[in-house]
Every structure is written in C-alpha cells, then in structure tokens.
Amino acid sequence: MSEPIIRTLRKSDYPALIDVVRRMWYPEYDEKTGLLAAETDWENCLARATCAFTAELDGEPVALILGRVDALDHRRPLNTHRINSLRGLLRLVCAKDGLKAAGDILGILNIDEHLRKQATQTGHDYSAEVVLFVLDPAARGHGLGRRMFDTLMTAFREAGVSKYFLFTDTTCDVGFYVHLGLAQVSEHTPPTNGDGEQATSFYLYEGLVPEN
C-alpha cells in the first residue's frame, strides 16, 4: 500500500467520492436512490465551497474536505452546483423512497439554518466554514483526518481567516473536533417518531485557525 497524498479535488474524483458519501450517509437506501441522494448533497456542498482537497490512496480518492471563505466566493447564488443540486432533488422524487431521501436532505439544511441563526443571535459570526469532511472508513489508520484538516486550515490562514465554523451531529466523530479544540456553540435535537428511533442531535462548532 502506497503513502496517501493530499491534493486539490479533480472532477474525475467525483464518482468515487460521491459513493463514499452514499455509503457513509445514505446506507438505508438502495444503491440507485442512495447515489442520487449523495450526488444531490454533494452538489449542494460544492455550491458553497471555495476550496476542495482530496486524499488519494493507491490511486483512488478516499477522503474529501471542502471549505468556504466568504471573501473568495464571487459566484452568483444560483451557481452551476446549486442548479445541479436542485435538479437532483427533482430526480429523487421519481426514485424509490426518493421523497424520504429528499426530505432528509432538506430537513438537515433547515436544521443547519436554525443552528446558524442561534449562533448569530448569541454574537457568533463567521467568514469561513468547513463545508464537508468525509473519509472512507477503509482508509482510516493513516492519520488522514488530521492531515486533511490541517491542509484546510492552511488554506484558511492564507486567506486571512481567523475563525470558522462547521455543522456536525451525533452520527459523526464529534470527538475528533473536540480534540482539535473546537467548541460547541449551538445544538438542536429534533423529536423522533416514537417508534424506538434514537434521536440525533445536531451541532454547530466553531474553531480558531492555528497561527502556524
């Protein structure tokens, strides 16, 4: 096995990384619907991102981190990736269990907006965001999580960013962010359907960009 390398994202990486998103966050759907949901989610994230890095292991992309610096985004709000995301939602309507998948995506976006509003109301404002961070479980054990995060922090620092935020939830490795020194700012736990479903809590965390 070769040493993993970190580089900027290429369009040719999209299929492999979209499948990682599918396996990580949409495993309850069949492969077709899961891929549609993952691609829709992916395009929505790219619509906000201004920098993107991937980790390559044995010639395959296995991890992705997307960042956004407000001052670097000169695109119109309805950019190409946003349009692709909206088209993905429409395609989901016709897929098996697609309405549920679309509802999941829109529901999380609504929760994220609520968390950001909570943060703003308590005096927290940001000019940068860690938009998406995903690592194939098969690629763990190489220290890629920390290396990927450090790469994005370097990009933030070079852009003059001092503070950033990210959204996460209890299905993710929240402890990773705590270990890096991030602090929870806001939290939301939606009610469950009462059928023994375990509640998922959603968070907004903030962090300071290291000086070096």
- Indicate the angle between helix axes 98-121 and 80-93, nearest 10 degrees: 140
CATH number listed for the domain at residues 5-208 = 3.40.630.30
**In whole angstroms, what is the distance from residue 55 CA to residue 4 CA?**
6
| Segments making up each domain of the chain, as ranges | 5-208
Neighbours of 99 (CB within 10 A): 12
Q: What pLDDT is attached to residue 141?
A: 84
* Tokens matching residue 157: 């620092």
Q: What pLDDT is attached to residue 110?
A: 97
Q: What pLDDT is attached to residue 2?
A: 77
207 strand-pairing partners: 164
* Tokens matching residue 117: 């509003």
pTM value?
A: 0.94
**In whole angstroms, what is the distance from residue 1 CA to residue 4 CA?**
9
Q: What pLDDT is attached to residue 197?
A: 72
pLDDT per residue as tens, the chain (212 positions): 678 899 999 999 999 999 999 999 999 999 999 999 999 999 999 999 999 999 999 999 999 999 999 999 999 989 999 999 999 999 999 999 999 999 999 999 999 999 999 999 999 999 999 999 999 998 888 889 999 999 999 999 999 999 999 999 999 999 999 999 999 999 999 987 766 678 899 999 999 999 87
Please give the DSSP secondary-structure letter assigned to residue 209: P
Sole residue written with tokens 């890629």: 144
